[in-house]
Amino acid sequence: MRTRPAGGTDAATLRKDDAAMRMIDTFIKPMHPEGRKFVVTFAAITLGLFFLEDLLGWIGVGLTIWCYYFFRDPDRVVPDRAGLVVSPADGVVSLIGPAVPPRELGLSDTPLTRVSVFMSVFNCHVNRAPVAGKVEKIAYRPGKFLNASMDKASDDNERNSLVIRMEDDRVLTVTQIAGLVARRIVTFTQDGAVLDRGERFGLIRFGSRLDIYLPNGVTPSVKIGQTMIAGETVIADLSA
């Protein structure tokens, strides 16, 4: 006869409970506080739509779920090997090539390798530090709201840039760029702050792009079209 653990629950039940929890964790993610007011607004509008027409109400339910999903903020497993540069955003690599960092940062005019990660409205939009280091400068510049996948969006669109100085005294620049739908860049950090690799530093609402300017001589290890996971996918190895 099969015996039960002292607690009265057999191993099979524990495995089922564990599998159920993993399934829940797969679909239900923590939501960033920045999204709460938007989800509440969507939910209130949805309630009003149900009074008008059931079909409209259910459409509102779908949009409310999407809004929650947009502001999801899952935990990430950040690689701990020294010298790695991780993606600051979820999305797809849209551009790789030489470019001069944003002028308002006052850096050199020497072109650096730029890796652009485009975020659609279905990606998680919480941005994470690609490297550990001190925030040496933050510079915001207003601009247009062109499609963020276009190359000229780096020059014309609203943007916010961070210069991060690493322990080896090299700097890496990461730029948040507003897109066609995005209308608000949010930054959680400030000048002089010390960031860990993979630490949350901002978000952009509703579709946008992140540009990473690698230090001189560093070659990216990703390709155009590759899918990125913020805080996890390695973009380059500074020690290579």
Q: Which residues are catalytic?
A: 208
What is the rounded CA–CA span in Å between residue 172 and residue 32?
Answer: 26
79 within 8 A of 233, measured Cβ to Cβ: no
- Token look-up 């524990």 returns 14
Q: Residue 67: name the closest of 38, 104, 87, 91 by CA.
A: 38
180: which 2 tokens?
Answer: 């066609």
What is the rounded CA–CA span in Å between residue 91 and residue 149?
Answer: 11
93 within 8 A of 117, measured Cβ to Cβ: yes
240 within 8 A of 89, measured Cβ to Cβ: no
Helical ranges in the chain per DSSP H: 11-27, 36-52, 54-70, 153-156
Query: CA torsion sign, 138 to 142 to 145 to 149?
Result: negative
174 within 8 A of 154, measured Cβ to Cβ: no
128 within 8 A of 146, measured Cβ to Cβ: no
